[in-house]
């Protein structure tokens, strides 16, 4: 019998109008196939301009009994009852996507600055930043102080959307990067090749794991083995609000959000918000759970719910 965990999942609603829901947080019970929306992110101060821009909640990390969730330009901290207990902003945090934790630090992708920010979880302050930039045919990386002027200027050259950190370095990936990049103490180097248009790319086991969003598949590549598993698709007649997306960006089968919970089992998200479990060893999807058929509502971040 496969043990399936509960998940905390965030979503973004593309093409939202002011007064509409912009997504939120859901507790998803994969065993009982039940979901509960614990936060409806209806924020009237949202900036509606730009692709995806400020709508909805993004990356999720659960650390030391607190739930850390990124919005576009703010890091929110919730207790387990989903009450906001703190929030943090920084001048260099914009269009944040995914976040991760390593040791006593949280790392955040600042997509709007082609950067990764570091947040000290003990002190409650942003204490570091790394700017990624083109350097001829290669890439360069420069550290900066996120609390001082002189950092990077705003720009989305690489559309950095994922960060993963371990003892080997900081791994970053983005929709406009053709590789998973590792940033070490003194160098930046390609860790693995990627197709353009990925989300959530990261090392996993002896290979790399990612959402190939352009090809509508969850992928795992290791040595000579490549696993590509299609995300769920629905008949057009089942989809809701196809005519309400003023951005013309919402589509079904947009794969984003990954949460490994064993050596071979991975939960992943797709639109309209659907949470699926993939068996990488068997090369197949073993379960799917749809939360809404609103095609504008797209899964984003996810984490195992430990409480």
Is 11 a domain residue? yes
The pLDDT of residue 223 is: 87
Identify whether the C-beta of residue 23 lies closer than 8 Å to the C-beta of residue 55: yes
The average pLDDT across 21-45 equals: 84
The pLDDT of residue 49 is: 45
Q: What percent of the chain has pLDDT over 90?
A: 82
Q: Give the model's confidence band at 53: pLDDT under 50 very low, under 70 low, under 90 confident, else very high.
A: very low
The pLDDT of residue 256 is: 97
Q: How many CB atoms lie within 10 A of CB 82?
A: 14
Long-range contacts of 211-215 (CB under 8 A, 24+ apart): 211/255, 211/256, 211/257, 211/258, 211/268, 212/255, 213/175, 213/254, 213/255, 213/256
Identify whether the C-beta of residue 256 lies closer than 8 Å to the C-beta of residue 299: yes
Identify whether the C-beta of residue 39 lies closer than 8 Å to the C-beta of residue 22: no
Q: Give the model's confidence band at 2: pLDDT under 50 very low, under 70 low, under 90 confident, else very high.
A: confident
Q: Domains in the chain: how many in total?
A: 1
Is 1 a domain residue? no
* Bridge partner residues of 212 (DSSP): 198, 217
- At 162-186, the pLDDT tens digits run 999 999 999 999 999 999 999 987 7
- At 104-162, the pLDDT tens digits run 999 999 999 999 999 999 999 999 999 999 998 899 999 999 999 999 999 999 999 99
In this model, does residue 248 exceed pLDDT 90? Answer: no
Is 195 a domain residue? yes
- At 65-112, the pLDDT tens digits run 999 999 989 999 999 999 999 999 999 999 999 999 999 999 999 999
**Residue 62 belongs to domain with CATH number:** 2.130.10.10
Is 221 a domain residue? yes
Look up residue 121 and give its DSSP letter. T
Give per-residue burial for 163-176: e unless 16+ CB within 10 Å, then b. Answer: bbbeeebbbbbbbe
What value does the mean pLDDT of the chain take? 91
- At 260-273, the pLDDT tens digits run 999 999 999 999 99
Give the domain extent around 83: 6-304
């Amino acid at each position: 019998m496969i043990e399936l965990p509960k998940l905390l999942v965030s979503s973004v609603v593309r093409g939202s109008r002011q007064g509409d829901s912009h997504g939120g947080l859901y507790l998803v019970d994969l065993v009982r196939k039940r979901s509960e929306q614990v936060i409806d992110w209806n924020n009237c101060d949202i900036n509606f301009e730009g692709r995806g821009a400020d709508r909805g909640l993004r990356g999720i990390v659960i650390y030391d009994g607190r739930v850390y969730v990124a919005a576009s330009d703010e890091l929110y901290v919730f207790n387990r009852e989903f009450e906001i207990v703190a929030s943090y902003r920084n001048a260099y945090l914009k269009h944040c996507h995914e976040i991760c934790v390593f040791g006593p630090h949280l790392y955040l992708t600042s997509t709007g600055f082609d950067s990764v920010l570091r947040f000290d979880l003990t002190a409650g302050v942003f204490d570091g930043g790394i700017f990624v930039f083109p350097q001829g045919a290669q890439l360069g990386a420069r550290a900066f102080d996120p609390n001082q002027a002189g950092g990077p200027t705003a720009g989305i050259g690489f559309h950095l959307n994922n960060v993963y950190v371990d003892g080997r370095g900081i791994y970053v990936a983005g929709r406009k990067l053709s590789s998973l990049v590792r940033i070490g103490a003194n160098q930046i180097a390609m860790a693995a090749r990627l197709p353009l248009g990925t989300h959530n790319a990261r090392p996993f086991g002896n290979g790399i794991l990612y959402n190939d969003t352009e090809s509508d598949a969850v992928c795992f590549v290791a040595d000579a083995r490549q696993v590509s598993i299609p995300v769920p698709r629905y008949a057009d007649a089942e989809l809701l609000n196809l005519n309400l997306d003023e951005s013309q960006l919402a589509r079904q089968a947009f794969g984003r959000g990954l949460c490994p919970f064993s050596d071979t089992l991975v939960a992943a998200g797709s639109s309209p918000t659907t949470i699926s479990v993939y068996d990488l060893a068997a090369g197949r999807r073993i379960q799917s759970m749809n939360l809404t058929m609103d095609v504008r509502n797209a899964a984003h971040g996810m984490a195992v719910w430990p409480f």
